[in-house]
Structure 1
Amino acid sequence: MRVKPILHRGHVAFAHDVIMAALSFLAAVHLRQGELAMPGWDAAMMAIATMAFTLTAAAAFLMSRMYKGVWRYASVNDLMTLTRGATLTILIFTVLMFLVTRLQDLPRSVPVINWFVLLALLGGPRFLYRSWKDRRRSAKNAAGGTRVPVLLVGAGDEAELFIRATMAPDAEYRAIGLISDGGGRVGRNIHGIDVLGSTAELESVMARLKAAGSLPQRLIVTDHRLDGGEMRRLLDQADRLGLPLARIPRLTDLKDGVEDKLTIRPIAVEDLLGRPQTVLDREGMEALIKGKRVLVTGAGGSIGSELVRQISDWAPESLVLFEACEFNLYTIDLELAGRHPDLARHPVLGDVRDATRIDDAMRAHRPELVFHAAALKHVPMVEWNPDEGLLTNAVGTRNVADACAAHGVRLMVQISTDKAVNPTNVMGASKRVAEMYAQALDLSGISTRYVTVRFGNVLGSTGSVVPLFQKQLAEGGPLTVTDPEMTRYFMTVREAVELVLQASAFGDAHPDYRGKIFVLDMGEPVRIVHLARQMIRLAGLRPDIDIKIAFTGLRPGEKLFEEIFHGAEPPVATDREGILVATPRSVDVAELAAELHNLEGECRAHDAPAAIARLRRLVPEYAPKP
């Protein structure tokens, strides 16, 4: 059992400060009078005043909690604490002297001089000690040892925190230089580490470091403002230079204090495809959901489960999980029970194609908000089973939308896809019919609002290319790409759902946007073959050497390029970052309802040719590829 020492460094620091307080009072008197004496005071009175000041200082120092900090990490916060302790000491002592002597023999300038001297005697040794420790650490870092030399990308707060962390005795890394994103800080330094150039000058910076015999072994990204395109370019540069690329956690993820070891994380595919965090209207999202009864269809799917997670965090009154897959429903219900055990949740096993089941769920739970995420979305699967895809995506949406109107739901949010624009496959065309029906109802003037949100591919979702590539990498390849020119828009599931909720709150608060489609800003499209090569590099392998890339040709219904706006839907910006709106192409709701009724009959009769023919009439721009 370890015995706690009687005296520790806090006691030593306290003794030091008490001695400094006594010396500061004597120094202040000497500076004012030119001698250690005060007119009208004898030696006994001088000793009593010095003792009184010292005891006052001791009490003030303890009250100011000056001994929680560590001298070797003395900072501006510690200086503020010292200032508070010195000020409290002077104020209390001055009041005491007024009560005893009415300050008749004490010059008014002595307390002022004493404050400055006391602060200098308290702070000076602390910062001299820190400077000495920093020099020792710098000397150790310069010596190298076993620490890994790294070059940092970014010259902001995260870089400064990382450099301070490398000063710890057990640090794993040694920063030898900084690369600035914009180049505005080139020539300056942070804690003695120079900003050597901009990201565009990385190769020339590496050449200079090589000539100086100080090559880094790793490139670490500290600037989280870099978007996916910049990260992809940086990965290409690092690959040419033979440098592993990594990143540090975001500043908000880091613990306080430089003694905590920073975890260097490998670059993930999300870093290559993501964008800087969008500023969210969290107040609007909270106002939309807090205290409301909410129902989510497709609650166990990729988008639906993330919707459930984020909605549950905004404290709804109750949350209904409507899901056709028993296992998915069990999984998300179990997760929600652990995440928010006090939330009233209702798992409902049902299919949106069953209008009676939807109607019963809404009658039983009376939701105020409905998020419709249930869909069949795998393009080839729906292409091979068009009647099933149309029943779920088009007829199922009609069932949910009609039930919302019948049961007085305040807002229904329809989750759509960029594949609904100029569709070349049944999945996209079926989602376009779903958009049309929600738009038509929203424009019909009924009390229920219908907000349609459209976005592209979601990273990690079922059937997306990233999990496929990861599986193929684990199996040793090859990575299969349909065409060298194929591009796609990508977004993380977290970001997609955050923007869905923001668009929902915005649409609910702006009735002048009735019937419009909210389109999430997906950034720039990414070439799939480029993504494949970079995922191979992230795995520490070489494209076309360690892992092959095979081109398989377009699958049924696939397009080379996805679009997020139709030519008849000119995009309009909103005052919410990351959200655009498309001007609606409206149709008559009664006519569309009749067509959907006939479509349902053809699909339930498994008359796929008749259903496809009707689909082509409903969506004239639907142009299936042979």
Structure 2
Amino acid sequence: MGQTQLYKFATNLTRGQKQLILLFADVLTIPVAMFVALAIQYIGRPVPYGLLNDWEIIPVLMVLSGSLSYALGMNRIQLNDTETAGPAPAALHAVVVGLAAALLNMVAGSPVHWSAYFTFGLILFVGTVAIRLMMRRVFLAILHMKNPRTGVLIYGAGRTGMQLATALRHDPRIQPVAFIDDNPAMRRMTVAGMPVIAPKDIEDLIRKKNIQRVLLAMPSLSAPQKMRISKRLTPLGLEVQALPSFAQLAGEEELVDKLKPVQPADFLPRKQFDDDLATAMPVFRGKTVLVTGAGGSIGSELCRQLLHCRPARIVLLDSSELALYTIDGEMNALSTGVEIVPMLGSVTDARVCRDVLEAHGVQIVLHAAAYKHVPLVERNPLTGLFNNVFGSRTMAEAAREYGVERFMLVSTDKAVRPTNVMGASKRMAEMIVQDMASRPGDTRFSIVRFGNVLGSSGSVIPLFEEQIANGGPVTLTHADVTRYFMTIPEAARLVVVSAAMARGGDVFVLDMGRPVPIRELAHQMIEMAGYTVRDDQNPDGDIEIKITGLRLGEKLHEELLIGEEFMTTQHPKITRAREICLSEIEIATALKDLRNAIDVSDPDAAREVLARWVEGSMRPAQGQVG
């Protein structure tokens, strides 16, 4: 019979047929066990004449064996369960059949010494179990002809690893090959029938045994420690999986990462800005409000906050189809009586800006559209400048042309004495708005400036969360770097409240408390996730903090004010900065030179324009690594 026929025969057997085969095996074991027992009993001696004539004992014992096997359910025990569920009924079966044989021997006049039936019972027990183990090996070998088992290594030769190896040894899909253990005392040992090897020997074993998977049998390890092992093994082409702890299997511990959701407000060194927008409601109620960059982190939260002010209509403008689709769906689900109008387009397109303002009668513009990621804009300076500078000018000019009541530019602390293109582009946008505010007209042009927004796209908290979940390291650009922080809802409320207070030409700044050391923030996040920091003082900690060097254009410390003068407002947490700005002619000259540099694709010329017209622009950052 060929391999294909053997495979079909093994896989096509019904459960009843398998049980019948086991029952016949138990019956046929009787004469074999009796022959072996008597052979042992009478080694070197003649067999008694009475025994040769008393052959009827064998058929009686075979009938008894089959009946007892069926009654005890021995033929219904699966082969994979032989080692656990098989020995007890097999022992009882052997004892009963052995006693019956001895009793029959006595009835026949005791031609054989009773000790032979003791040996017979032992051989019957061993044979019954051995036949099942042999049958399992044969069936597995047949099945593996077409479905080879996946070779695996078990990382950890402790009790959990031994239990896992025992459980997997007879699995039809997985074949444990060896243990891996970091403990030098375990090397060259054999545990549960498998060798224990050092991590450095894994690569050789992979080539020899075609290993594809490693199972981590060390549930006491923390998630970061497991991730470090995984990162070490994955480049070798291995799939790494972790065995749950017994506490997790018992339901006492969740089968999830220890990393818990982080609330950004937990990291603010001050009381959260939680204005209820009561002062802003009269300004926005019943109005049509345009939010540019509506699909971004700040723009989308602005839209949500505006719903509390009950405007008649919110126009959502974004150049990203996916972002616009997402916020439009969310707003329509949240809105109760406020019309939501999604508009796909860029603020750099003058036609789009004019059409949106005219078609919907926009009365208030909250301009949040901008490229904000410092390294990306630094590497794509002309695109960043065109969007942030000329997009702001296009939108502001359209707002002035169509008589919009209020125009609020959302700016950043990176615009203060900027050392990068993104910050300089935002400062240029600020100066454009300041210039617009100085001209006669009905539109109130204002600016709101704040620091880093916790939880926004590309911000430090999502990055740290991902790094902690991956086992570290958590990366800092500099050990001493600090930043001002606020939450996304804080930023949106600040914009809305400031827009309501605007008189024209304002630069609003939130009282953001002390700047937060980023290293302190990293420590907090690691500890809040339930882990410890690994450093020289704690070499056995979970997560390492790694210094990578300041990024291109990055500053050690950000600022919120260009000058020293500021005034209070009716809101205790919001101040109004008093800052000088360029004249209309100077702004026109700067924009002309900048546009020329963009038109000829000359980033160096664009940087020179920024350095000439933006205060502090392109000054090298302290400790900067380019």
TM-score by shorter chain over 0.5: yes
- 1:605 CA displacement: 3.3
Gap change, CA 1:543 and 1:605, over 3 Å in 2: same
- 1:569 CA displacement: 4.4
1:550 equivalent in structure 2: 546
1:515 equivalent in structure 2: 505
Q: Which amino acid aligns with 1:515?
A: G
* Superposition map of 1:110-129 within 5 A: none
* Superposition map of 1:8-47 within 5 A: none
Query: 1:409 and 2:399 equivalent?
Result: no
Paired with 1:309 and 1:419, the residues of 2 have a C-alpha distance of 26
2:421 and 2:618 in contact (8 A); partners too: no
SS in 1 for 2:604: helix
The percent identity for this pair of structures is 46
Residue of 353, 356, 359 corresponding to 1:358: 353
- 1:277 CA displacement: 4.2
Query: 1:587 and 2:582 equivalent?
Result: yes
- 1:281 CA displacement: 6.4
- 1:453 CA displacement: 0.2
* Superposition map of 1:239-388 within 5 A: 268-273=263-268, 275-278=270-273, 280=275, 282-340=277-335, 342-388=337-383
Residue of 522, 527, 534 corresponding to 2:524: 534
Residue of 514, 522, 525 corresponding to 2:515: 525
Residue of 562, 575, 581 corresponding to 2:570: 575
Paired with 1:526 and 1:467, the residues of 2 have a C-alpha distance of 17
2:436 equivalent in structure 1: 441
SS in 2 for 1:282: coil
* Aligned residue pairs, count: 356
Q: Which amino acid aligns with 2:433?
A: A
Paired with 1:277 and 1:553, the residues of 2 have a C-alpha distance of 31
Q: Which amino acid aligns with 1:381?
A: L
1:292 and 1:316 in contact (8 A); partners too: yes
RMSD across aligned positions (CA): 1.7
Q: Which amino acid aligns with 2:399?
A: C
Paired with 2:580 and 2:341, the residues of 1 have a C-alpha distance of 37
1:602 and 1:608 in contact (8 A); partners too: yes
1:420 equivalent in structure 2: 415
Deviations 1:385-406 (A, max 9, x none): 1101101111111011100000
Deviations 1:46-94 (A, max 9, x none): xxxxxxxxxxxxxxxxxxxxxxxxxxxxxxxxxxxxxxxxxxxxxxxxx
Q: Which amino acid aligns with 1:355?
A: A
1:372 and 1:415 in contact (8 A); partners too: yes
1:303 and 1:373 in contact (8 A); partners too: yes
SS in 1 for 2:280: helix
1:18 equivalent in structure 2: none
1:278 and 1:577 in contact (8 A); partners too: no
Paired with 1:288 and 1:449, the residues of 2 have a C-alpha distance of 13
1:472 equivalent in structure 2: 467
Paired with 2:593 and 2:277, the residues of 1 have a C-alpha distance of 43
SS in 2 for 1:346: strand
Paired with 2:269 and 2:317, the residues of 1 have a C-alpha distance of 30
2:11 equivalent in structure 1: none
- 1:466 CA displacement: 0.8
- 1:366 CA displacement: 1.7
Paired with 1:591 and 1:505, the residues of 2 have a C-alpha distance of 30
SS in 2 for 1:394: helix
Q: Which amino acid aligns with 1:524?
A: R
1:569 and 1:585 in contact (8 A); partners too: no
Deviations 1:265-311 (A, max 9, x none): 98734212263344636332101111001100000000000001111
Query: 1:608 and 2:598 equivalent?
Result: no
Paired with 1:278 and 1:457, the residues of 2 have a C-alpha distance of 14
Q: 5+ unaligned residues in a row in structure 2: which ranges?
A: 1-259, 535-540, 621-625
2:499 equivalent in structure 1: 504
SS in 2 for 1:413: strand
Q: Which amino acid aligns with 2:366?
A: F
Gap change, CA 1:389 and 1:569, over 3 Å in 2: farther
Query: 1:563 and 2:553 equivalent?
Result: no
1:387 and 1:604 in contact (8 A); partners too: no
Paired with 2:426 and 2:262, the residues of 1 have a C-alpha distance of 34
Q: Which of the two has higher C-alpha Rg?
A: 2
1:269 and 1:535 in contact (8 A); partners too: no
SS in 1 for 2:278: helix
Runs of 4 or more consecutive aligned structure 1 residues displaced over 6 Å after TM superposition: none
Q: Which amino acid aligns with 2:447?
A: T
Q: Which amino acid aligns with 2:513?
A: G
Deviations 1:221-278 (A, max 9, x none): xxxxxxxxxxxxxxxxxxxxxxxxxxxxxxxxxxxxxxxxxxxx98734212263344
Paired with 1:314 and 1:552, the residues of 2 have a C-alpha distance of 44
- 1:515 CA displacement: 1.9
- 1:354 CA displacement: 1.4
SS in 2 for 1:367: coil
